[in-house]
Chains A and B, each alone.
Chain A
Amino acid sequence: MKYFFRKIGLLLFALFVAMTLNFFIPRMMPGDPARELIDRMQGIPPEAMESIRIAFGLDTKDTLIVQYGKYLLNVLKGELGISLSRFPTPVRDVLKIAIPWTLGLMGFATILSFFIGTILGIGAAWSRNKRWATLTVGTFIFIRSFPYFWLGLLFIYFFGFRLQVFPIGNAYSFYVQKGGWDYFLSVLYHGFLPALTITVSSLGGWILTMRNNMINVLAEDYITVALAKGLPLRRIKNLYAAKNAMLPSITSFAMSLGFVVGGGLLTEMVFAYPGVGLMLWQAVQAKDYAMMQAIFLFISVAVLIANFLADLAILLLDPRVRDSGR
């Protein structure tokens, strides 16, 4: 139980840090970009100006501490300000449309690549002196060094532009009615390349982690004993070694989730996939600060919660952790 509370404490503290960063980053920068932005927005009715000032927390009547308190309350209420690029839609409403796409795409791709990577990693460690293992590990190390967005560009070029077998933007075809089987197929068809990009480029990480964990476990004495007893190799590989090597792999899965999500955001930008990543890109281009900050906050919360869930999984799977609190 101690473990559980510690993890909850960490989650809450991390959320608090993310919110605090979000509040102080714009205020720490020289030149006050928020005010600059308001100056840029001449020709907007004064009432709207007023609401933007409030949205930015630029009520100079308040001290910084009061502003900070108000900001925290607003975030907890889910009020994230007003999007400038889609004025006057609240950021919350814009985000609502984008979130399902991102969750679907990244959730699917990440879990897929975790499983494929883990299985390949187990294989690569087990037969690490074989040519195929070296080749697989080498190939994915090379691919892992690609910037995510560049791999996306490469796929778009070959499959979308050269071969023209896959679409190069959007999440579904505009000619298909929403809902129903055709729509579902169209979503799959459009999501294939972005998902492939995320899966392929994050695969190397999982393979490497799993391979190294597995090699460490394979050097343990109980594996030697199992081998000496003449247990079936398959059993040793899957039940003795892989099972134990999986646990640190889950932890590092949680750790590198933030990195994968970052890559996913870039993939969305390149594929013009209407998720949070594309929205972030548009916000950057339009200097829509409220939008950017809300997206940062959303992504942080999502990753932190995913991390927390991974920690819970460890709690369930690892008897050392499970029993330590008793």
Chain B
Amino acid sequence: MFKDIGKLFLGNKKALFGLLLLLFFALVGLLAPVIAPYDPKSNRVETITVLSEERDRSRTISREDLDPSTEKKVYSQSVTTTYERITKKLPLKGKPSSAHLLGTTHSGQDIFSQLIWGTRVSLTVGLVTGLFTTVLSLCLALIAGYFGGLVDDVISLFTNVFLVIPSLPLMIVIAAYVTVRGVIPIILILGLTSWPWPTRVLRSQVVSLKNRDFVRVSKSLGEKPSYVVFREILPNMISLVMASFFSSTMAAIIGEATLEFIGLGNVSVVSWGTMLYWAQANGALLAGFWWWFLPPGICIALIGTSFALMNFAIDEISNPKLRKR
């Protein structure tokens, strides 16, 4: 089952390209401390050069005052190191150069290093939010779809209502009221405002699977609901769950960048969204500093494309009509 999906997935050119793109960003995020040439938050570089080392050997013998029977010998060896500590301030609003591939910010941080560290934050927020949203909507969808009746009516009603209430203004209002600024509130806000669409899609799939013969058979054999749900229904909608996860993650990455760009995130965290915030706040656009505001957007778009391609492939795999023959 999973093996087949995996094989189809990797055999699909779009999916493979999307997956490679995602792996590339994941690698950049993981290896950020190794790749990034500078500290993304610091505006100075410290270099320490050891000039000389002198060892000073001395022996001290001290007699314990309290207890005359013991004699304590203390050997100490002190090393005197003479070193030079050079603190170099990075240029402010520097243009791209060999030292700073994408220039520096208004307060002298290296933009290239920020972009690399930002990958880590943005991708993590995206994936965690995507997972959160998918799990939340999958639970709602399974409960509503499997049990039906009043539970289904209530969940469906709220899904339909929240589907049409525009989520961005809602997110902004909630985020503005949350007094704690940071990554975790953003994850919660994004997750709690983006569940309706996947819930709706997943629920209708659950309903359609519930009425298939193999599920009916399993039920009439007296299997427990948990068995029917997790062994019969869920495995047959894995591709849809994956698709929901990809879209939710993509939406979350854009959503995070949006909230942070407006200034509703923690602006001291280095992510793609806050980079855009600082670029905009310092008029990078009107000064023509394209190297400051273009790269974060391109990264977001590339990650988005990677998820979109994988989704496209899932669509093709699960809906043969869309497949090119």
- A residues sitting closer than 8 Å to B (CB atoms) are 10, 13-14, 17-18, 21-22, 25-26, 29-31, 33, 36, 128-129, 141-151, 153-154, 156-157, 161-162, 168, 212, 215-216, 219, 254-255, 257-259, 261-263, 265-266, 269, 280-281, 284-285, 287, 289, 292-293, 295-296, 299-300, 303-304, 307
Contact = CB atoms under 8 A, between A and B. Distances in A.
Contacts of A33: 177, 179
Contacts of A255: 163-164, 197
Contacts of A254: 164
Given A289-B176, A303-B164, A296 B169 contact: yes
A266 B168 contact: yes
Contacts of B164: 14, 254-255, 257-258, 303-304, 307
Given A154-B294, A157-B290, A147 B173 contact: no
A145 B173 contact: no
Nearest to B302: A145
B165 A25 contact: no
A299 B164 CA distance: 11
Contacts of B206: none
Contact of A262 (B168, B257, B301, B308): B168
Interface of B: 157-158, 160-170, 172-174, 176-179, 197, 250, 254, 257-258, 261-264, 276, 280, 285-286, 288, 290, 293-294, 296-297, 300-305, 307-309, 312, 315, 319, 321-322, 324
Nearest to B293: A153
Given A293-B173, A307-B164, A150 B276 contact: yes
A284 B319 CA distance: 44
Contacts of A26: 177
Contacts of B197: 255
A292 B290 contact: no
B176 to A, nearest CB: 6
Contact of B167 (A14, A162, A259): A259
A14 B319 CA distance: 33
A293 B173 CA distance: 7
Nearest to B294: A154
Contacts of B169: 262, 265, 280, 295-296, 299-300
B259 to A, nearest CB: 10
A77 B97 CA distance: 60
A210 to B, nearest CB: 13
Contacts of A145: 250, 254, 300-305, 307-308
Contacts of B308: 141, 144-145
Task: Sort A-B residue pairs by CB-CB distance and give the 3 closest, nearest first.
Answer: A145-B304, A262-B168, A258-B166
A125 B121 CA distance: 38
A14 B161 contact: yes
A273 B264 CA distance: 20
A254 B166 CA distance: 11
A21 B170 contact: yes
B304 to A, nearest CB: 2
Nearest to B256: A147
A150 B300 contact: yes
Contact of A161 (B276, B288, B309, B312): B288
A21 B285 CA distance: 37
Interface residues of chain A: helix, strand, loop or mixed (majority): helix
A150 B284 CA distance: 13
A200 B296 CA distance: 20
Nearest to A142: B305
Nearest to B289: A157
B20 to A, nearest CB: 16
Nearest to A128: B324
Nearest to A145: B304
B304 A144 contact: yes
Contacts of A149: 258, 261, 276
A176 to B, nearest CB: 23
B288 A147 contact: no
A161 B285 contact: yes
B257 A29 contact: no
A100 B138 CA distance: 40
A205 B177 CA distance: 31
Given A145-B307, A161-B286, A296-B172, 14 more contacts: A17-B158, A22-B173, A26-B177, A141-B309, A144-B304, A144-B308, A156-B285, A157-B285, A258-B164, A258-B166, A258-B168, A289-B176, A292-B173, A303-B165
Contacts of B305: 141-142, 145
A325 to B, nearest CB: 19
B176 A287 contact: yes
A176 B257 CA distance: 37
B285 A31 contact: no
Contact of A300 (B165, B285, B322): B165
A241 to B, nearest CB: 13
25 contacts: A10-B157, A10-B160, A18-B165, A25-B173, A29-B177, A29-B178, A142-B305, A145-B250, A145-B303, A146-B297, A147-B261, A153-B280, A153-B285, A153-B293, A154-B297, A157-B288, A161-B285, A216-B319, A258-B163, A263-B168, A269-B262, A292-B173, A296-B172, A300-B165, A304-B164
Contacts of A156: 285
A161 B301 CA distance: 22
A104 B119 CA distance: 37
A269 B277 CA distance: 13
